[in-house]
């Protein structure tokens, strides 16, 4: 946040609060910077038959912690019921991905449709100038591109821009990320300690918020009513090595939990829905020099009439790699091909 305190006075911010230390510290920083802060927690999911996930962002205790922080800081707090939207855009997508042998990323879908969709619309209703979250990321105006750009935070380990690529272009100028300049989580916790917040040492959320114990299979079979069928685990040449318990329990790149013995480590290469088979092979068979990407979101107006050089990665913790980006079928909204 580079704006001066004077320029921020009377500027209203709707801050998404999960009850954790990051969003709680963001509230402190925004208030100290002179903004009029309103805290809001989205009620996304509730399953009374399941225990709360410690550190989860959808639980009753998370809402309570957020409200308690707001009370201590003297700022208002709202609870927004977004269960229907969460079901439609996140849970249904999660289930459909597994039905179609894909691996979903519910956090990205939640950011896209809830945090920067529904939440942003609520901010407009409340006549807020900005929305904010406790993500580690940075937004600033680029003279080079004559536009607002999304940039990495100062923390290479905590940077979360990978999950934020889907922010709508029109929302980007209205985003504030108070934690953009912090390099470690310890710095953030220290501020919360100074303000005597009880969430200062609260555990980070590591699991998918609506799946207790990270048990995807149980959720898909019990809550989503998917009925997995046993099938063969085979090599590319068709040699049968064993049986699987249902395609929903596996994902491409998986090594552990296959339940088969072989002369070398084997990885899931493909899930064949038609044959109900899992094709496995050595690690080298996972390697590829290109991929096709869809559901793109371009935050800058760039010329894609010819291939361009980019940096790309396919997982949050993966190391970036040089790549060439090429538009497919001359349609920005459909597919791009990256050659690594």
The secondary structure of residue 20, as a DSSP letter, is S
Going along the chain, which residue ranges are E strands?
Answer: 12-16, 36-43, 77-81, 130-132, 138-142, 147-151, 175-176, 231-234, 240-244, 267-272, 277-281, 290-293, 308-312, 321-328, 335-339
CA distance 258 to 235: 13
User: Residue 15: which of 132, 140, 153, 171 has the closest Cα?
Assistant: 132
| pLDDT tens string 16-59 | 999 999 999 999 999 999 999 999 999 998 765 555 555 555 56
3-state secondary structure of 240: strand
CA atoms within 13 A on the CB side of 318: 10
Q: Which helix (H) or strand (E) covers residue 190, if one does?
A: helix 185-194
CA distance 256 to 245: 14
CA distance 120 to 175: 10
| pLDDT tens string 63-109 | 999 999 999 999 999 999 999 999 999 999 999 999 999 999 999 99
For residues 22 and 215, the model is more confident at 22
CA distance 199 to 214: 23
Q: Calculate what percentage of the chain has a pLDDT beyond 90.
A: 71
199: pLDDT confidence band, cut at 50, 70 and 90? very high
| Residues annotated as part of the active site | 110, 209
Please tell me the predicted confidence (pLDDT) of residue 333. 46
Counts for the chain of helices (H) and strands (E), in that order: 9, 15
| pLDDT tens string 220-263 | 998 788 899 999 999 999 999 999 999 999 999 999 999 999 99
The CB density around residue 271, as the number of other CB atoms within 10 Å, is: 23
DSSP codes, 204-230? PP-S-TTSGGG-HHHIIIIIS------
| pLDDT tens string 299-317 | 998 888 899 999 998 888 8
Question: What's the predicted TM-score (pTM) here?
Answer: 0.88
């Amino acid at each position: 946040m580079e704006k001066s305190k004077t320029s921020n006075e009377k500027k209203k911010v709707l801050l998404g609060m999960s009850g954790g230390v990051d969003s709680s510290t963001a509230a402190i920083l925004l208030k100290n910077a002179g903004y009029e802060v309103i805290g809001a927690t989205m009620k996304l999911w509730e399953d009374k038959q399941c225990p709360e996930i410690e550190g989860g962002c959808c639980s009753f205790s998370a809402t309570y912690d957020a409200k308690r922080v707001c009370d201590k800081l003297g700022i208002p707090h709202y609870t927004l019921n977004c269960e229907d939207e969460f079901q439609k855009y996140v849970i249904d997508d999660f289930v459909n991905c597994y039905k179609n042998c894909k691996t979903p990323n519910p956090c990205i879908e939640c950011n896209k449709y809830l945090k920067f969709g529904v939440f942003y619309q609520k901010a407009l209703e409340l006549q807020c100038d900005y929305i904010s979250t406790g993500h580690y990321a940075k937004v600033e105006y680029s003279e080079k591109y004559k536009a607002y750009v999304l940039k990495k935070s100062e923390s290479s380990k905590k940077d979360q821009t990978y999950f934020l690529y889907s922010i709508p272009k029109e929302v980007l100028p209205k985003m504030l990320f108070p934690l953009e300049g912090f390099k470690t989580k310890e710095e953030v916790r220290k501020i919360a300690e100074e303000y005597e917040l009880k969430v200062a040492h609260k555990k980070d959320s590591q699991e998918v918020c609506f799946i207790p114990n990270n048990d995807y299979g149980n959720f898909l079979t019990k809550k989503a009513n998917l009925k997995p069928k046993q099938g063969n685990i085979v090599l590319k040449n068709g040699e049968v090595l064993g049986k699987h318990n249902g395609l929903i329990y596996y994902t491409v790149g998986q090594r552990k939990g296959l339940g088969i013995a072989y002369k070398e480590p084997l990885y899931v290469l493909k899930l064949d829905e038609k044959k109900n088979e899992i094709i496995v092979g050595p690690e080298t068979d996972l390697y590829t020099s290109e991929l096709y990407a869809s559901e793109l979101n371009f935050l800058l107006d760039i010329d894609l009439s010819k291939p361009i050089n980019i940096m790309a990665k396919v997982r949050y913790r993966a190391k970036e790699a040089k790549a060439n980006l090429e538009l497919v079928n001359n349609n920005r909204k459909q597919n791009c091909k990256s050659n690594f």
